[in-house]
A and B are shown apart, each in its own frame.
Chain A
Amino acid sequence: MIKKAIVAIGLVASMQSISMAATQTTTTFKAPSQVQQDEYGNDYIDREAVISTQNFKVDNFWNSFKTSGNATSNYTTISRSGLFRITTSATSACTIDNTLPEEGCSGQKPFLINDEVLKNPVDGTTDTYRVAFTNPSDYTNNDYNGFYPLDVLRDAKYYKDNNINTDGGTTAPRSGFFGFITGAIDSLYNKVVGIDFFGQKDIADIAYTPRSNAAEDRRQRYIANIMAGVEKEHRMTKNANGASATVINAPTLNSPVSLLSYAEAQKSTTTASCKFLGLELSTKGAMCRVMSGFGMDAWMPFFNLTGTTQIESNFLLADTENALLAMNAKLNGVPYLQDVAGDQDTKLTFLQNIIKPMTAMIGFMKGMLFGEKKKDIVADPVQRVYSFNEDEAMTMTFPVTNDGSQIDDFAHFKLLKIRSVYADELNSCTVKKKPGMLKPSAWEETFYIGGNVEQKSPNYTLWNKEIWNSDQWVDWCQEATGKKGMFTYLLNWQTGGVFNPFNWMKGFFQAFLNMLTGTYEITNFTNTVKRGLVLDLKKVNLDPVSKRNTREIQILHINTPSAGK
């Protein structure tokens, strides 16, 4: 038996006399397969490689003692071919900080989009998409331009700060995975930006008071999921984990993936320290200082600082924006406000970088922020655009759903722009007319948005204004409080490259004249600031050699050897 086998091998490796060519090894690659997606939405290609050794020689020791045969056996070709799967995932965070444990990182982001989004590119032909952050409570099955936050379970060790704050201070020691995330956000707002133009525009971070640990837990988990990607252990899978269309507010998740809201943790802030623009401006903010410097409140008596500015803050939105901005700024490695902001095609001044007209976005954003019916009474929204270098930008994998019942697919995007949109809305305005020389008695009227006029004292004068309807009053109110056209005037700060405060003040001046000719005073107004977040995304295939992606190589199989002679 043994001898038979040996003879068989001997036949295969028969010893023939071959010309003694040099032994050479060649390596060849076959063309890769089409890009496909695995169940987690990572891209993969299959690729075959062949290593082939020609004229491999084996010395025959025993032949030295024989009269026949060759001293060396020559094998013309001995080769192995292997099929490999190269999987690419969009793990941007892990590519910049190698202290992050790999299990805590993946390419999946906790954002859900409907497949309608992918049918609706920006100009109809390209692969660029514009999606607006949409509240989970507004979830619809066919939202063609929205993305929704998702709550995806996460192991506590990959986002929680376990260190105990021993000094009793408010600053907790930060370390580990969550330390990276909080550190990134901190550096964005404290160190990188440096200038505090909008003051502490980040409302969520200063006013946020969690009602429960569970809510705070979800919040931290969500931020960690955005920045590092969903943890590997809890990745979403195609066709398996349904994205429940029910908004989850309960402390515990009832499914692995659900739309996320931490509405119960929201807090409405009504104290406006510097409410000139209707934006919540910190008194430390440059804008507020500019206002004070002009002494607006001194020579514009109608500008009543006792007016109420209501900040309707969406923490979910603020957190989403902060996390994306922090991550992308870190990836770009530059102070985003100075170097990254602005459209790539035009060089803009600093101010223009920060405040831009909405142009094409206006209609879309107005509808998003306020609903169509209130369009006419909303001050022009203003957006700040953060553009990112395509090479440096974060790559993200979004789960795609058709009807919300399950994840049907995944799509990869590069985050090219973040548009942070502010707009404000005048809710009510109380106008008081003081008694004057030509005015026999005082009256007071309150105008609410929607046309209701509450006339407290029905006295009339001969002034034209008193026959205004409520819409005209609202108009005037908006103008007087800087709600109407404010941002347009801001844009006209620099006309032809020259600073022109008069242009800017035009609106106020008009209102000022109104005040002089009739002693009207706005005693109170309620204003709501709203925010929106829009992402410009470019659909991409994940590039296995991009520094923003992680590459995994897996052996599918090694082909059976062929030992030629």
Chain B
Amino acid sequence: MRRGSVAIVPLFLAIVLLFWFIWFLGGANDNLHKVNQIENLQHLQDRLLQSAIMKRYELEEADPSLSDAELDAAVDTYIKEIMKVNGIDKNEENK
């Protein structure tokens, strides 16, 4: 018993360390999660940049009478819709 009580100390320390590690990883995970989300968004934006510029010329080709402002607005709407589909843009407040 006496011998055993000494032996529990490293085990106890190990359990404390484990809990600390879980706590640490959890915080890190949140940060990593955020970085990840932002990077995902930026990759999506990268792709959409190409789509936007292609779409703009396609729209202009389809209807050359459109003004620059109208084209810009049309592409803006187009990208907004894609963002909604991807769950980025949200209409509701405070969500």
| A21 and B72 form a contact (CB under 8 A) | no
Total A-B residue contacts, Cβ distance less than 8 Å = 126
Q: Which residues does chain A contribute within 8 Å of B61, judged by CB atoms? A: 545, 547
Q: Does A20 contact B (CB under 8 A)?
A: yes
Task: Return the CB mask of A20-63 against B: 1 if under 8 Å, else 0.
Answer: 11111111110000000000000000010101010010101111
* Alpha-carbon distance A518/B84, docked complex (angstroms): 98
| B49 and A51 form a contact (CB under 8 A) | yes
Determine, out of A273-281, A472-480, A555-563, the stretch whose residues face the partner at the interface: A555-563
Q: Is the interface of B mostly helix, strand, loop or mixed?
A: helix
| B42 and A82 form a contact (CB under 8 A) | no
| A9 and B35 form a contact (CB under 8 A) | yes
- Interface size counted on chain B using CB atoms at 8 A: 43
Out of B31, B35, B45, B90, name the residue touching A23 (CB < 8 Å): B90
Determine how close the nearest CB of chain B comes to the CB of A542; give it in whole angstroms. 13
| B88 and A25 form a contact (CB under 8 A) | yes
Determine how close the nearest CB of chain B comes to the CB of A135; give it in whole angstroms. 40
Q: Which residues does chain A contribute within 8 Å of B53, judged by CB atoms? A: 29, 47, 49, 82, 84, 86, 553
| B50 and A63 form a contact (CB under 8 A) | no
* Alpha-carbon distance A65/B30, docked complex (angstroms): 12
Q: How large is the interface on A (under 10, 10 to 19, 20 to 34, 35 or more residues)?
A: 35 or more
| A13 and B35 form a contact (CB under 8 A) | yes
| B88 and A22 form a contact (CB under 8 A) | no
* Alpha-carbon distance A56/B80, docked complex (angstroms): 13
Q: 8 Å CB contacts to A: which residues of B25-52?
A: 26-35, 37-38, 41-42, 45-46, 48-50, 52
**CB-nearest residue of chain B relative to A75?**
B38
Q: Does B16 contact A (CB under 8 A)?
A: no
* Alpha-carbon distance A22/B92, docked complex (angstroms): 6
**CB-nearest residue of chain B relative to A54?**
B89
| B49 and A6 form a contact (CB under 8 A) | no
| B83 and A25 form a contact (CB under 8 A) | yes
Q: 8 Å CB contacts to A: which residues of B4-26?
A: 24, 26
**CB-nearest residue of chain B relative to A80?**
B45
| B26 and A58 form a contact (CB under 8 A) | no
Determine how close the nearest CB of chain A comes to the CB of B77; give it in whole angstroms. 9
Out of B38, B56, B93, name the residue touching A13 (CB < 8 Å): B38
Q: Does A79 contact B (CB under 8 A)?
A: yes
Interface residues of B, Cβ cutoff 8 Å to A = 24, 26-35, 37-38, 41-42, 45-46, 48-50, 52-54, 56-57, 60-61, 64, 72, 75-76, 78-80, 83, 88-95
**A-B CB proximity, top 6 nearest:** A80-B45, A82-B49, A20-B94, A545-B61, A62-B26, A25-B83
